A = this chain, B = another copy of it.
Amino acid sequence: MNKQDQLNMIKEDFINCQKVLLAIGDETRQAILLVLMGTDCQTGLRVGEITEQTHLSRPAVSHHLKILRDAGIILMRKEGTKNFYYINVRTELGLLRTLVLDIDNFLQNFYSNDGILEG
């Protein structure tokens, strides 16, 4: 694969994980993720329970949960009026791994000291 192909791939990677990057770049959402990861198994947590463990209002939590959900990082299960949120085991963070790996590859191929090939 030549240089331009790799660059296009990285460009695609950026597009694919755009939502994920914005979602986990926010410290509040990182805190929410850690709260969710701290719960036993996959039963998930209700919005109210998450709110209690943060300094935020319920609407704010709801807002951040939506962003995390749109990014494919968490999932929701309805149960009556209760909504349980939990980490998506098949999380879209894999897209991030792809991005990082592709960049690593690129740098190794075209920026390493022992072999500048030029595309």
Whether A100 contacts B103 by the Cβ 8 Å rule is no
How many copies of this kind of chain does the complex include? 2
Whether B40 contacts A118 by the Cβ 8 Å rule is yes
**Closest chain B residue, CB of each to CB of A86:** B111
Q: What is the interface of chain A mostly: helix, strand, loop, or mixed? A: helix
Whether B18 contacts A21 by the Cβ 8 Å rule is no
**Closest chain B residue, CB of each to CB of A6:** B37
Interface status of A10 (Cβ within 8 A of chain B): yes
CA distance A93 to B17 in the complex (A): 14
Please give, as numbers and ranges, the residues of chain B lying within 8 Å of A107 by CB-CB distance.
Answer: 87, 89, 91
CA distance A3 to B116 in the complex (A): 44
Please give, as numbers and ranges, the residues of chain B lying within 8 Å of A104 by CB-CB distance.
Answer: 93, 97
Interface status of A25 (Cβ within 8 A of chain B): yes
Interface status of A63 (Cβ within 8 A of chain B): no
Please give, as numbers and ranges, the residues of chain B lying within 8 Å of A110 by CB-CB distance.
Answer: 41
Whether A37 contacts B91 by the Cβ 8 Å rule is no
Whether B7 contacts A38 by the Cβ 8 Å rule is yes
CB within 8 Å of B: which A12-46 residues:
14, 18, 21-22, 24-25, 27, 30, 34, 37-38, 40-42
